[in-house]
Amino acid sequence: MKKFELKNSIYFLILFLLFSTNNSDARISIIRDAEIEKFLYDLTKPILKSANLNSDNIKIYIVNDSSINAFVTGGQNIFINTGLITKFKTPDALIGVIAHEVGHIASGHLARSSENFKEAENAVLLSYLLGLGAIAGGSPDVGSAIIMGGSQTAQRVYMKYSRSQEESADSLAIQYLDKISYPAFGLIDLLEYFESQNIGYKNYVDEYLLSHPVSRNRIELIKSRTKDKKFSNHKINNKLQKRMNIIVAKLEGFLNDPDQILQTYSKSSDFQSRYIRSIANYKKGNFSQAINLIKSLIKENDKDGFIYELYGQILFEGGYADLAILAYQQAIKILPKEDSALSKINLAFTILSKKENNSDELDYCILLLKEAKKIEKENPFLFKNLAIIFMKKDDEARYNLALSEYNYLLGDYKKALKHAKEAKKRLPDSATIEITEADDLIDLLKDKKNSN
């Protein structure tokens, strides 16, 4: 697997999903951001409820891809491209597409176009590294992270629905939207947009058209079934739109050219413009400007934990680790437990980046990571941080146990098995919970080895 180093840090927690396939290019670049994920889940849960699906079983991933697309794989995993979010700047299209994708899930339309995709319905190999990066030589401004493989999107290879399946998903989407008293015009607008485009306009539409064939019949069918609905003129409430504005600003700030952003928004002083400019300045290394802009946002809205989370990231990479710790702590204080897991991981990492840690700091980091683990149990970076803590505490048994979990989630089963066995050998008899974890890992990894 090809690896390369990205200097000056990555801007979000990024993961690459490697599907069980012999195609080395079948990788999807995924963005992790708690605020965006919460927004998408909040849009999705009412639809799932109307479809009688358990929201706990559904996972939503944000694909770092500017083309307009969303797709389902792995049975109940919904993937939404950043292009879909940023192109249509109101929640209408998102809600319509999500309802459509939930229709595919409810109908069991697990599409595949290759035998190589036969194992993709069992979760995927998760391998993601935190974008804060490793601190070299005590210099917080020299961050780096190892990223696995390329970021070519796999939709073309995997996803291909028939027109009858598409119409079936449309029909179900209409039912779900009807139950939550929400119109389908967002989905109609999206499909009409695709219809109006030339398929050769690949920056936006080719992958969706390949995986979700669009026809005038589909559009007219949705229109005919929704035209008399009493909520056809339903408007997005302001609160939801305000959240969407910040989501779009965050994505554009992190993913677009910072110089172009600063030029575009140079004369605008509204909240959203200052938000996007703070990120652009951060990306350019203009930390003082970025920090001042974030401070102005906090002054206006000091109850938004996600702003403090972003503030912590900017402070950390600007070389203000002590202030970053305070910002992350404030984010955790404000955010609900289910939304603060990534902040807890970031906070632990920031504390551990210090040249020296006392015993109380290490115990505090363990507590943070244990709390985060309840939500982020498949996050390799969490276990990497745990390994760092136990290394600093000279606890070789738990150090090896954490490394075993880390390598397992990265898909390096050989290393994972080695560390699990080493952990089992070194754990004291009193560590019954850790011994059970080591035994479970060893059994799991032996099964993985035998199945390969």
Task: Map residue 133 onto helix, strand or coil.
Answer: coil
pLDDT in tens, the chain (452 residues): 222 222 323 333 333 333 333 333 445 678 889 999 999 999 999 999 999 999 888 989 898 888 888 888 766 889 899 999 998 888 888 998 999 999 988 887 654 433 333 333 332 323 233 323 322 333 333 222 222 222 333 344 344 566 677 778 888 988 898 888 888 888 888 888 777 764 444 444 444 444 556 667 777 778 877 777 665 445 566 788 889 999 999 999 999 999 999 999 998 999 999 999 999 999 999 999 999 999 999 999 999 999 999 999 999 999 999 999 999 999 999 999 999 999 999 999 999 999 899 999 999 999 999 999 999 998 999 999 999 999 999 999 999 999 999 999 988 999 999 999 999 999 999 999 999 999 999 999 987 766 55
Cα–Cα distance for residue pair 335/324, rounded to 1 Å? 16
End-to-end CA distance of the chain: 17
Contact status, residue 334 vs residue 303, Cβ threshold 8 Å: yes
Please give the distance of CA 147 from its chain centroid, rounded to a whole number. 15
How is residue 386 written in tokens? 């745990």
Task: Map residue 352 onto helix, strand or coil.
Answer: helix
Topology (CATH level 3) of domain 3-226: Zincin-like (3.30.2010)
CATH 3.30.2010.10 placement within the chain? 3-226
Per-residue pLDDT at 167: 79
Longest dimension (CA), the chain: 70
Per-residue pLDDT at 197: 65
CATH number for domain 238-451, candidates 3.40.50.360, 3.30.1360.120, 1.20.1560.10, 1.25.40.10: 1.25.40.10
Task: Map residue 25 onto helix, strand or coil.
Answer: coil
Per-residue pLDDT at 382: 95
Residue among 121, 112, 110 at smallest CA distance from 20:
121
Look at phi and psi of residue 149 and say left if phi exceeds 0, alpha if psi is from -120 to 50, else beta. left
Cα–Cα distance for residue pair 302/175, rounded to 1 Å? 40
Cα–Cα distance for residue pair 417/444, rounded to 1 Å? 9
CATH 1.25.40.10 placement within the chain? 238-451
Any residues with CB less than 8 A from the CB of 199 and at least 6 apart, and which?
A: 205, 206, 209
134-135 and 27-32: which strand pairing?
Answer: unpaired
pTM of the model: 0.81
Per-residue pLDDT at 226: 75
Per-residue pLDDT at 155: 40
